[in-house]
Amino acid sequence: MTPPLRDPHQERWNFRFRLGVTWWLVMVLFLALITRLAWLQIVAQRHYHTLAEANRIAIVPLVPQRGLILDRHGVVLAENRYEFDLEIDPHLCPDVSATLEALTQLVTITPSDRKLFQKMRDESHGLAPVAIRTHLTEEEVARFSVNRYRFPGVDIEARLTRTYPLGLHASHLIGYISRINEDDQDRLEDEDLSDQYRGTNHIGKQGIESHYESLLHGTTGSEQVETDAAGHGLRSLAQTAPISGDDLYLTIDAKLQQVAEEAFGLQRGALVALDPETGEILAFVSQPGFDPNLFVDGIDQEHWNDLNTSPDHPLNDRALRGQYPPGSTVKPFMALAALQLKVRSADEVLYDPGYFSFPGSSHHYRDWREGGHGKVDMALSIIQSCDTYYYSLANQMGIDRMHDFFTLFGFGQKSGIDLDGEAAGLYPSTAWKQKKYHQDWYAGDTVISGIGQGYVLATPLQLAVATATLANQGKRMTPHLVRAIRHAASGRITRIAPKVGQALTFRPEDLETVRNAMIGVMKPGGTAAQAGAGAPYSIAGKTGTAQVVGIRQGEKYNAGALTERNRDHALFIAYAPADHPRLALAVLVENGGHGGSTAAPIARQVFDYYLLGKRSPPLTHD
Amino acid sequence: MIKRAYVRWIAPMDRTLLHTTLFLVLFSLIVLYSASGEEVSKVLSQVRNLGLAFLVMGLVARTNPQILERLAFPLYGLALLALIAVALTGEVSHGARRWLHLGPLHVQPSELMKLALPMALAAFFEWRSRTLNWRDFVVATLMILVPVGLVLRQPDLGTALLIASSGFYILYFAGLPWKVMGLLSALALAALPLLWPLLHGYQKKRILIFLDPTQDPLGAGYHTLQAMIAIGSGGVLGKGWLQGTQSHLDFLPEHTTDFIFAVFGEEFGLVGELAFLGAMLVLITRGFYIANEGSTPFSRLMAGALSMTLFTYTFVNMGMVSGILPVVGVPLPFLSYGGTSLVTLFSSVGFLMSVHHHRKLVKQ
């Protein structure tokens, strides 16, 4: 049924009628608005005028104290300390440049201090006091205080400043706070938090300081202050006290962290050590570090250039964001995969002529040992790190089964650690290559993946987590850095419970096989025999070497001929004691050469301190 | 040469709209200079925005509404796709997904939808005008609900309501039965308590604070309170240009954008506000007049809806600043600083001009 056609004239009339009705509605609403405005500006004008002119009520934010960051035994990693600044109020100072000259006699004022002072002075239009020097030493404070009468308009201002007592130590993990910039401001507005940050000048930018910003910051209080026309406070009318930020107890052991960092010496690299049963991270090292104290009040150009242009990239968090080929450290996992998937048994013996090649191909996938290892079974393949064994194993297994197995151990995915900006690493598959490069997967790609080269990339954190999973019988715990939170308002301490990332089941005898081989790595004849020598506890380890530059067919790797930055990265993964693991770790030394000679000794020092050195009593609840 | 340029660019512009707009623009720059704390660079930047906005206005004014009508559906489809893209992939900018990143461009598709939705609806009703029945209203309602739902999910309640209102105006002018509207408003009132749990925390907070501004003196209540103090203390004649204390002592938030009316009210008083409202009323009335003489259903509906949208922005913003409506992020037409909203606004005025200029050129 078709409805009757509309009459256009009737429609026009209806439309006109509705326009008229609406116009009157607009008039009525505008009148309502005008009534409201007239009420504000005529009837209540005196009331608001009083509020605005004679006695204004200013709402002054009361800034909360930022929560502390402590290690698992209570060692302070980040705190708030009083700092002293020297400020000049241009209003009260008769001759600023003469005052500056006279001040140089008492305190050090560098040209960059002067420049900054000039800039801040221009920005504040001479309305507010401006700092000429920050971070006065105690001696300078004393010297100025004695001479203060000579300097009208100059005064010392004390303020709470974030301080990182350990300086260079654990800098990547603690992170830092810095001035709130426009981006932060936008974000706070979007999250409807800008009221919470009224009066707050700093915000967490990196590491724990950034990830736990919402806990550390606290709740801003407010005070209603009656002020005169010039904005000076007369009396307080009402007050809501601020609530300090929560204190964070980290899982980190600051002493162990220090031991680990010092073990690196001048070498660049990363180390992550964790408790395999809980996923609590005990040491989280990225070397070289930087001094987070530099960032708190805005880093100066000179230091910034140093940090930014240094070839050592100290600002780069290698443990969290550095992605490296894991090299031979993947072999224990490959061996376990072979057993689990029943691709190859532990006592199957292969002959290694020093290379692997596909039938009918002249291309040689070389073993690191020229001439080969001869007859090799699974244990020996790990102990001596035989490449040929794994070339052929990978070829048998196929990349997709390898991909699925390694994914279970956390390869190619973020670990879920409580830090921002974690790199995901990469474990390739045929589907991945098709999607990324629109190319087919080649058998050769599989072969080199078998020794952790090619597309495979892992962060030191991922390697440590995978090692801990191995140590923990296949139960992967989510790594975390905060162990307990102390709530400022109640003083109550909340423990952070360990979280299971994924629980895998393996046959105990398969795990045993791999573990025994890894113990063999540390014994005479193994690749890390030197680092394992004389340890009163047993270590299960695996060395690795990651190629930085490719070596052509027929050429030899010659460390001496390569520049330092092109030398191989040294890797080492281990857990100890092997029968009841308490610590699992991964070590990376950039351009360190062999894992056994540079990375493994660092791990040994960490184990020695943790397992043999004195331990402080565990965290007590108060 | 000059004559040709005049015929092409200036002649299509309706004199009443052009002069009122020019008056408001001049006014806005004077207010902005004061509100920005006498910052010349901000005023210059707004002059640049205005240049672009005028260009767009001129372009729309000389374009036949029939061409704009043909653009309506593609534009609507584009905006809808963009909104879906935002929901799926858009960058989460700190809790809200509003922006779409296309290479160097950062687009907020909800802004495009503000014009695309009424255009598409008007074109739809033009197409159905002869055989209009209740089914068409159901389809049209769906055309409104889908983008509004998407914007609500971002979440952006303010923009969602504005888009919904611009769609509703078309429905209304297209002849949505009074009975249905009565029923709908009754339903809406009844549904209010049911909607409450669906609101986001900050949205609830804003409504509660609106009901009692002293509840949160540091937050949104503070904004309204300070705005009321600024306006109230201005009195009938105002404190004079650059003489406002509330804005200059930084008591007012967002004093160049959403809350600029408070600065204006403090310095120019009730008299200045009446002048501004008078100019807005001239624009809206002229818009209604143009709507009435529009030659096609599309141009009539669009002219009516755009005029009402102009009114809605003005009313909601002034209502919020003077404390009779809750705080929603709506710019005040002409006065608020910002490029995007200015371009949208001037395209609307350009549209009205186009309808007026082409009222007889289109054959029925």
For the segment A406-464, what is each residue's pLDDT rounded down to a tens digit? 999 999 999 999 999 999 999 999 999 999 999 899 988 999 999 999 999 999 999 99
The pair phi, psi for residue A278, each rounded to 5°, is: -115, -20
Res A34 pLDDT > 50: yes
- A195 CB within 8 Å of a chain B CB: yes
Which residues 45-64 of A have a C-beta within 8 angstroms of B?
45, 47-49, 51-53, 56, 58-59, 61
Among candidate residues A201, A224, A250, the one where a domain is terminated: A250
Report chain A's C-alpha Rg in angstroms.
Answer: 33
8 A C-beta contact, residue B182 and residue B170: no
Could you give the C-alpha distances from A302 to A123, A169, A181, A312, in angstroms and in order?
Answer: 23, 21, 20, 17
- Give the model's pLDDT for residue B363: 46
A328 tagged catalytic: yes
Q: A41 lies in a domain?
A: no
Res A617 pLDDT > 50: no
Res B364 pLDDT > 50: no
Assess whether A240 and A346 both reside in one domain: no
Res A190 pLDDT > 90: no
- Give the model's pLDDT for residue B94: 44
Assess whether A239 and A325 both reside in one domain: no
* Collapsed DSSP state (helix, strand, coil) of residue B27: helix
Mean pLDDT of chain B: 84
Domain residues for the domain of A364 are 254-291+317-552+561-612
Domain of A408: which CATH number?
3.40.710.10
* pLDDT tens column, A161-177: 899 998 899 999 999 99
8 A C-beta contact, residue A531 and residue A601: yes
Beta strands in A517-613 (DSSP E): 540-546, 569-576, 583-589
ipTM over 0.85: yes
Among candidate residues A219, A250, A281, the one where a domain is terminated: A250
Assess whether A239 and A272 both reside in one domain: no
Beta bridge partners of A203: A178
Mutate one of A195, A210, A219, A236 to test the B interface: name it (highest B CB count within 10 A).
Answer: A195
Place of tokens 């209570």: A74
Span A6-22, average pLDDT = 87
Mutate one of B233, B239, B267, B289 to test the A interface: name it (highest A CB count within 10 A).
Answer: B233
Contacts of B228 in chain A (CB under 8 A): 40, 48
Contacts of B318 in chain A (CB under 8 A): 33, 37
Which residues 226-255 of B have a C-beta within 8 angstroms of A?
228-236, 245-246, 249, 251
Mutate one of A27, A31, A37 to test the B interface: name it (highest B CB count within 10 A).
Answer: A37
Residue A367: which of A377, A378, A379, A381 has the closest Cα? A381
* pLDDT tens column, A474-515: 999 999 999 999 998 888 999 999 999 888 889 999 999 999
pTM: 0.61
User: How far is A69 from A79, CA to CA, in rounded Å?
Assistant: 7
Res A615 pLDDT > 50: no
Give how many domains chain A has, as a whole number: 2
The CB density around residue B21, as the number of other CB atoms within 10 Å, is 23
- The region of weakest confidence among A267-276, A540-549, B190-199 is B190-199
Burial class (CB in 10 A: 0-12, 13-18, 19+), A125: exposed
8 A C-beta contact, residue A249 and residue A486: yes
Dihedral-angle region of residue B75 (phi above 0 means left; psi in -120 to 50 means alpha; beta otherwise): alpha
Q: A24 lies in a domain?
A: no
Contacts of A222 in chain B (CB under 8 A): 217-218
Span B19-45, average pLDDT = 89
Could A6 and B324 be called an inter-chain contact, meaning their C-beta atoms sit closer than 8 Å? no
What's the DSSP call for residue B196?
Answer: G
User: How far is B88 from B79, CA to CA, in rounded Å?
Assistant: 14
Q: Tell me which chain A residue has its CA closest to the CA of residue B202.
A: A192
Mutate one of B39, B91, B93, B94 to test the A interface: name it (highest A CB count within 10 A).
Answer: B94
Assess whether A283 and A146 both reside in one domain: no
Res B87 pLDDT > 90: no
Pick the more confident residue, A555 or A82.
Answer: A82
Assess whether A246 and A258 both reside in one domain: no
Assess whether A237 and A271 both reside in one domain: no
Res A402 pLDDT > 50: yes
Q: A42 lies in a domain?
A: no
Assess whether A193 and A283 both reside in one domain: no
Q: How sure is the predictor about B285, in pLDDT bands with cuts at 50, 70 and 90? A: very high
Place of tokens 């092997």: A578
User: Which amino acid is present at A272?
Assistant: V
Distance from CA of B266 to the nearest CA of A (A): 9
Q: A81 lies in a domain?
A: yes
Q: A266 lies in a domain?
A: yes
Pick the more confident residue, A14 or A553.
Answer: A14
* pLDDT tens column, B150-176: 888 877 778 888 899 999 999 999 988
DSSP result, B46-75: HHHHHHHHHHHHHHHHTS-HHHHHHHHHHH
Could A30 and B281 be called an inter-chain contact, meaning their C-beta atoms sit closer than 8 Å? yes
Dihedral sign, Cα of residue B173, residue B176, residue B181, residue B184: negative
Structure tokens of B246?
């509330």
Could B269 and A36 be called an inter-chain contact, meaning their C-beta atoms sit closer than 8 Å? no
* Collapsed DSSP state (helix, strand, coil) of residue A33: helix
8 A C-beta contact, residue A453 and residue A499: no
Count of CB pairs separated by less than 8 Å, A with B: 137
Asked whether the bond before A242 is cis by omega within 30 degrees of 0, the reply is: no
User: How far is A338 from A344, CA to CA, in rounded Å?
Assistant: 5
Pick the more confident residue, A131 or A171.
Answer: A171
Contacts of B281 in chain A (CB under 8 A): 26-27, 30
Span B213-225, average pLDDT = 63
Q: How sure is the predictor about B211, in pLDDT bands with cuts at 50, 70 and 90? A: low
Res A55 pLDDT > 60: no
- Give the model's pLDDT for residue A75: 92
The pair phi, psi for residue A296, each rounded to 5°, is: -55, -45
- The region of weakest confidence among A586-600, B93-107, B316-330 is B93-107
Closest by Cβ to A22, choosing from B94, B222, B308: B308
Res B219 pLDDT > 70: no
Q: A29 lies in a domain?
A: no
Report chain B's C-alpha Rg in angstroms.
Answer: 21
* pLDDT tens column, B245-259: 766 655 666 778 888
Q: How sure is the predictor about A184, in pLDDT bands with cuts at 50, 70 and 90? A: confident
Res A267 pLDDT > 70: yes
Assess whether A494 and A520 both reside in one domain: yes
- B146 CB within 8 Å of a chain A CB: no
Q: How sure is the predictor about B4, in pLDDT bands with cuts at 50, 70 and 90? A: confident
User: How far is A225 from A235, CA to CA, in rounded Å?
Assistant: 6
Q: A323 lies in a domain?
A: yes
Assess whether A260 and A200 both reside in one domain: no
- B291 CB within 8 Å of a chain A CB: yes
- The region of weakest confidence among A37-41, A541-545, B72-76, B109-113 is B109-113
Res A603 pLDDT > 90: yes
Assess whether A234 and A352 both reside in one domain: no
Percent of chain A whose pLDDT exceeds 70: 92
- Give the model's pLDDT for residue A616: 34
Res A202 pLDDT > 60: yes
Res A532 pLDDT > 80: yes
Assess whether A487 and A338 both reside in one domain: yes
Assess whether A217 and A275 both reside in one domain: no
Could B133 and A3 be called an inter-chain contact, meaning their C-beta atoms sit closer than 8 Å? yes
Q: A296 lies in a domain?
A: no
Could B231 and A22 be called an inter-chain contact, meaning their C-beta atoms sit closer than 8 Å? no
Domain of A241: which CATH number?
3.90.1310.10
Beta bridge partners of A376: A350
Res A230 pLDDT > 70: no
* Collapsed DSSP state (helix, strand, coil) of residue B270: helix
Beta bridge partners of A158: A84
User: How far is B325 from B314, CA to CA, in rounded Å?
Assistant: 12
Contacts of B288 in chain A (CB under 8 A): 19, 22-23
Could B130 and A6 be called an inter-chain contact, meaning their C-beta atoms sit closer than 8 Å? yes
Distance from CA of A408 to the nearest CA of B (A): 28
